[in-house]
């Protein structure tokens, strides 16, 4: 679907970003258009709407304007689509949604030095000023002032997105667009697995949705000895086995799977729990299946505060608990690139559908119904 009126596409070699003449796009012969197609949260209610005449974002001196090629639909976008309590309390109506993407540099601000027109890029969607305690001590992924693309500021379900140069990530030539479009969730999985440390360890992945499935292939690549999975969706459990899980348990059938996991692990329980579901029952059962002194990395987000047995599950168990947010910048990104370049990850069965952006309703329906796993839209 490359027939949309996009800006002039010149070969990248010809324009290294020399001192840029202007900081903002101005209408001249080969300048970018002034308006674009964008999927916006048009009202405080269900759905999104396609705006054909959204102004192209402004490009400050340190910003990079990226022409989006592929964008992934995330669970976050589903919340925004469905307009649940979280979305209603967080999302400004009128925003361009979406945060998972790959694209090509279209235009650079006057102070940008590392990127030039035509370069394939993705970006870290968590944007910070880089000046708070955590940003200055190597933990920018938990910065106090984080603004998220497509949540707090205009995102990537649009022909163009403007991102600070400090957040732009060059995509390696050997990594295809459809994979690069999933760096954001794949980075969540890589961050969770690497924070937990899985080498030569037994691992339970609790919840094999998109990121849980990615967690299985990442954990396998990172040297987990045996991977167990739980979910309530039989086809996803089958896929988890295909991706390397030794056992995949249907948790809708009760909690006796915990006994089986214990039996398989000297009566102890697994070394590592990767909690990817956010479901209260799964969290409780996951901790019960964790051995004393094990490590739990929690990525799944419960919809509301949960009741939890701290005594049995954490204190007497003496386990370590890690909260996982976003991706470590840029450690996670380098790890992810290494795993991909090493051919260690199996993502073909996880990235299941692609639709042109005009068919966004079908794309969301495919994702929300569970028929698709990772669904991409082409701009």
Integer angstrom CA distances of residue 204 from 25, 29, 85, 250, 295: 50, 57, 30, 13, 11
How do beta strands 270-275 and 290-298 pair?
A: parallel
Taking the CA atoms of 41, 326, 160 and 337 in sequence, report the sign of the dihedral they define.
negative
Q: Which stretch binds Zn ion (CB under 5 A): 36-44, 165-173, 184-192, 199-207?
A: 184-192
Q: Between 184 and 346, whose beta carbon lies closer to Zn ion? A: 184
Least spacing, CB of residue 177 vs Zn ion, in Å: 17
The one catalytic residue among 79, 99, 126, 191: 79
Q: How far is the CB of 44 from Zn ion (least distance, A)?
A: 22
With respect to Zn ion, which residue has the nearer C-beta, 183 or 355? 183
User: Cβ of residue 122: shortest distance to Zn ion, in angstroms?
Assistant: 12
Alpha-carbon gap, residue 181 to 68, rounded angstroms? 10
Q: Is 79 a catalytic residue?
A: yes
Query: How remote is the C-alpha of 194 from its chain's centroid?
Result: 16
> Is the CB of residue 300 less than 8 Å from the CB of residue 192?
no
Report the residue number, 156 or 289, with the smaller CB distance to Zn ion: 156
Burial 47-76 (b: 16+ CB within 10 A, else e): ebebbeebebbebbeebbbbbbbbbbbbbb
Q: Which of 63, 154, 184, 354 binds Zn ion (CB under 5 A)?
A: 184
Using CB under 5 A, which of the segments 23-31, 72-80, 81-89, 303-311 binds Zn ion?
72-80
The minimum distance between CB 331 and Zn ion, in angstroms, equals 19
Q: Kind and range of the H or E element at 123?
A: strand 120-123
Rounded to whole angstroms, how far apart are CA atoms 185 and 204?
Answer: 19
Any contact of residue 275 with Zn ion (CB under 5 A)? no
Shorter beta-carbon distance to Zn ion: residue 71 or 237: 71
Which residue, judged by CB position, is nearest to Zn ion in the bound state? 74
Shortest Å, Cβ 77 to Zn ion: 7
Alpha-carbon span 259 to 263, nearest angstrom: 6
Candidates 230, 224, 188; CA nearest to 205 is 230
DSSP type of residue 256: T
Minimum Å distance from CB 202 to Zn ion?
28
Nearest to 155 by CA among 215, 77, 231: 77
Could you say whether residue 165 binds Zn ion (CB under 5 A)? no
Q: Is 106 or 124 the residue whose CB approaches Zn ion more closely?
A: 124
The rounded distance, in Å, linking the Cα atoms of 226 and 212 is 15
Give the range of 182-190, 301-309, 317-325, 357-365 binding Zn ion by CB under 5 A: 182-190
Count of residues that bind Zn ion according to CB under 5 A: 4
74 binds Zn ion (CB under 5 A): yes
From 85-93, 185-193, 220-228, 275-283, span contacting Zn ion (CB under 5 A): 185-193
Which residues from 75-134 bind Zn ion, rule CB under 5 A? 100
Is residue 76 part of the annotated active site? The answer reads yes
320 Cα distance to chain centroid: 25
Residue 290 or 329: the one with the smaller Cβ distance to Zn ion is 329
In the complex, minimum distance from the CB of residue 157 to Zn ion, in angstroms, rounded to a whole number: 12
- Whether residue 339 has a cis bond before it, omega within 30° of 0: no
Looking at 39-47, 70-78, 201-209, 297-305, which segment touches Zn ion (CB under 5 A)? 70-78
- In the complex with Zn ion, the residue whose CB is nearer, 224 or 276, is 276
Q: Which helix (H) or strand (E) holds 186?
A: helix 183-196
Q: Spot the catalytic one: 6, 8, 76, 97.
A: 76
Q: Give the interface with Zn ion as residue ranges (CB under 5 A).
A: 74, 100, 184-185
Catalytic residues: 76, 79
């Amino acid at each position: 679907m490359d027939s949309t009126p996009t800006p002039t596409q010149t070969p990248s070699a010809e324009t290294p970003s020399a001192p840029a003449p202007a900081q903002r796009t101005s209408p001249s012969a080969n300048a970018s258009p002034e308006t674009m197609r964008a999927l916006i949260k048009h009202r405080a209610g269900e759905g999104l709407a396609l705006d054909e005449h959204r102004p192209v974002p402004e490009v400050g001196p340190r910003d990079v304007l990226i022409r989006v090629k592929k964008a992934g639909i995330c669970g976050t976008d589903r919340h925004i689509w469905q307009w649940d309590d979280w979305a209603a309390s967080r999302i400004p109506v009128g925003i361009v949604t979406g945060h998972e993407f790959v694209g090509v540099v279209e235009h650079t601000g006057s102070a940008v030095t590392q990127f030039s027109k035509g370069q394939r890029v993705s970006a870290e969607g968590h944007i910070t000023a880089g000046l708070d305690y955590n940003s200055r001590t190597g933990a920018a992924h938990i910065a106090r002032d984080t603004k998220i693309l497509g949540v707090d500021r205009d995102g990537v379900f649009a022909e163009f997105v403007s991102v600070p140069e400090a957040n732009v990530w060059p995509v390696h030539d050997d990594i295809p667009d459809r994979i690069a479009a999933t760096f954001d969730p794949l980075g969540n999985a890589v961050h969770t697995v690497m924070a937990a440390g899985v080498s030569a360890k037994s691992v339970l992945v609790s919840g094999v949705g998109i990121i849980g499935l990615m967690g299985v292939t990442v954990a396998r690549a990172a040297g987990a000895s045996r991977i167990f999975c739980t979910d309530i969706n039989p086809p996803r459990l089958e896929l988890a086995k295909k991706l390397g899980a030794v056992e995949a348990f249907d948790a809708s059938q009760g909690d006796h799977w915990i006994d089986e996991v214990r039996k398989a692990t000297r009566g102890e329980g697994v070394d590592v729990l990767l909690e990817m579901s956010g479901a209260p029952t799964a969290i409780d059962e996951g901790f019960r299946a964790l051995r004393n002194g094990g490590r739990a990395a929690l990525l799944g987000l419960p919809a509301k505060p949960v009741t939890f047995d701290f005594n049995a599950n954490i204190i007497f168990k003496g386990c370590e608990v890690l909260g996982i947010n976003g991706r470590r910048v840029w450690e996670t990104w380098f790890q992810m690139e290494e795993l991909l370049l090493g051919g260690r990850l199996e993502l073909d069965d996880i990235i299941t559908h692609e639709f042109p952006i005009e068919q966004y309703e079908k794309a969301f329906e495919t994702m929300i119904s569970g028929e698709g796993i990772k669904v991409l839209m082409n701009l």
